[in-house]
């Protein structure tokens, strides 16, 4: 990231403040340094003056969800997310990535307010069942109920029967591979209904987003290379995780220095498709299926990162679901990968804004296209004792297909 021409990027910011109106972090903290505009000023100072950043500066740089809401509304298209990631890389190189990981582990198990007993159970589960190189270690909601961790990854389990190479690859992502096997199965149902036989390589790797978000570019690049190698023979790579999809589509090219590696990452980005891009409305003709009202949460990385917002709604409506929109369906849910762990109180406040918006509808079900958002929103609803179910979009779509009369 640091090889980017920083000056060309932050010089575009005219300090108009439009970004402040959409930033969920600034909305909660109301401090200039917490705003995208303020962060750009700090990044500029960090790269131009070479000053020793204070704890407060480091805090502001870390208080970014990378939701890119600011990028979406910026009249000059300033890529604040890239600037923040470059600053995190610089700070990580200064402090040492091992120190960052050690500090994060301490936060997860020492300062979240979870009881010692629950903390030890979670730690044992992570130690025994989850590769610390995987993104799931950083992306599970730290302060809430942890979903059941499966005894075996989907990609390495007997459920994964698609081990032969085909033109359509299916990248699971850590949460689906370790926890949400039902999302994998429903995605396979949709792929097969569209006439595709998915290739699901065994022992899949993390996409690298958690490492990138903490400034560990070397680890992110290593994980990206592993992912790209898995799907060398695939013409397309489908995912059911908006975060993974956006990482592979938008950020891989920034992880490498050589022109050859960059071109490879760019070619790989062209392969990436969300499952809702692959599924077609015609698949749901004559299903005869009608259901209750649902509301749809736009994952940041799916909506802004991959440009997918209308298609999931079209598919849900075609599958027999009435959609009642929230006031702000595209506002970040507050997860932000490691953000939820490092800034638990702030993250929870942002998540509550989302659940309050959900409660403003009459929907008893929330659909979304990111398992991380799904887990995070579900956990907050449970905390609030609200009987509202959060499901992945593919669950509702696959359920409709399964009820379709056989011809």
Q: What is the pLDDT of residues 290-301, one digit of tens each?
A: 678 999 999 999
- Domain that includes residue 194, residue range: 154-278
Same domain, 238 and 268: yes
Regarding whether 181 and 228 lie in a shared domain, the answer is yes
Out of 261, 278, 295, a domain closes at: 278
* Average pLDDT of span 48-52: 78
Q: Mark whether 24 and 38 lie in a shared domain.
A: yes
Choosing from 214, 248, 278, the residue where a domain stops is: 278
pTM metric for this prediction: 0.88
Domain count, the chain: 4
DSSP state of 379: H
- Measured CA angle at 137 (ends 102, 28), to 5 deg: 85
Report the distance separating Cα 186 and Cα 110, nearest Å.
Answer: 37
Judge if 244 and 342 occupy the same domain.
Answer: no
15 and 121 both lie in a single domain: no
Asked whether residue 245 falls in the same domain as residue 186, the answer is yes
* Domain CATH number, residue 55: 1.10.1060.10
d(CA 152, CA 179): 9
User: DSSP alpha helices (H): ranges in 330-387?
Assistant: 339-342, 344-359, 371-383
Report yes or no on 236 lying in a domain.
yes
> Is 131 part of a structural domain of the chain?
yes
- pLDDT band at residue 162 using 50, 70 and 90 as cut-offs: confident
- CATH code of the domain in which 335 resides: 3.40.50
Could you say which of 62, 95, 128 is where a domain stops?
A: 95
Q: Is residue 310 part of a domain?
A: yes
pLDDT tens per residue, range 139-151: 555 445 566 778 7
- Share the mean pLDDT of the chain: 85
């Amino acid at each position: 990231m640091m090889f980017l021409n920083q000056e060309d990027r932050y010089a575009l910011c005219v300090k108009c403040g439009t970004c402040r109106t959409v930033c969920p972090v600034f909305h909660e903290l109301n401090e200039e340094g917490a705003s995208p505009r303020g962060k750009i000023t700090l990044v500029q100072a960090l790269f131009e003056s070479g000053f020793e950043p204070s704890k407060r500066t480091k805090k502001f740089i870390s208080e970014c969800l990378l939701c890119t809401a600011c990028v979406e509304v910026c009249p000059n298209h300033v890529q604040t997310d890239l600037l923040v990631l470059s600053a995190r890389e610089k700070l990580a190189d200064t402090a040492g990535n091992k120190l960052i990981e050690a500090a994060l582990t301490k936060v997860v198990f020492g300062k979240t307010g979870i009881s010692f007993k629950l903390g030890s159970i979670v730690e044992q589960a992570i130690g025994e069942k989850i590769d610390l190189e995987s993104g799931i270690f950083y992306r599970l909601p730290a302060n809430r109920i942890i979903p059941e961790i499966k005894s075996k990854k989907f990609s390495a389990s007997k459920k994964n029967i698609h081990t032969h190479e085909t033109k359509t690859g299916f990248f699971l992502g850590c949460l689906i591979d370790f926890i949400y096997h039902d999302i994998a199965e429903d995605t396979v149902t949709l792929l097969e209904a569209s006439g595709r036989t998915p290739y699901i390589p065994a022992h899949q790797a993390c996409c690298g987003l958690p490492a990138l978000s903490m400034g560990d570019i070397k680890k992110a690049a290593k994980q990206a290379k592993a992912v790209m190698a898995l799907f060398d023979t695939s013409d397309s790579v489908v995912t059911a995780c908006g975060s993974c999809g956006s990482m592979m589509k938008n950020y891989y090219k920034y992880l490498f220095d050589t022109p050859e590696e960059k071109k490879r990452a760019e070619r790989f980005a062209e392969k990436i498709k969300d499952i809702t891009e692959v599924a077609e409305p015609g698949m749901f003709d004559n299903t005869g299926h009608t259901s209750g009202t649902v509301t749809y949460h736009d994952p940041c990385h799916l909506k802004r990162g991959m440009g997918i917002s209308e298609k999931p709604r079209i598919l849900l409506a075609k599958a027999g679901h009435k959609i009642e929109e929230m006031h702000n369906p595209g506002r970040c849910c507050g997860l932000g990968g490691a953000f939820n762990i490092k800034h638990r109180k702030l993250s929870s406040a942002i998540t509550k804004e989302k659940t309050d918006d959900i409660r403003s509808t009459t929907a008893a079900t929330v659909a979304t296209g990111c398992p991380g958002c799904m887990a995070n929103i579900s956990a907050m609803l449970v905390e609030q004792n609200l009987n509202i179910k959060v499901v992945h979009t593919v669950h509702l779509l696959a359920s409709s297909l399964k009820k379709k009369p056989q011809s």
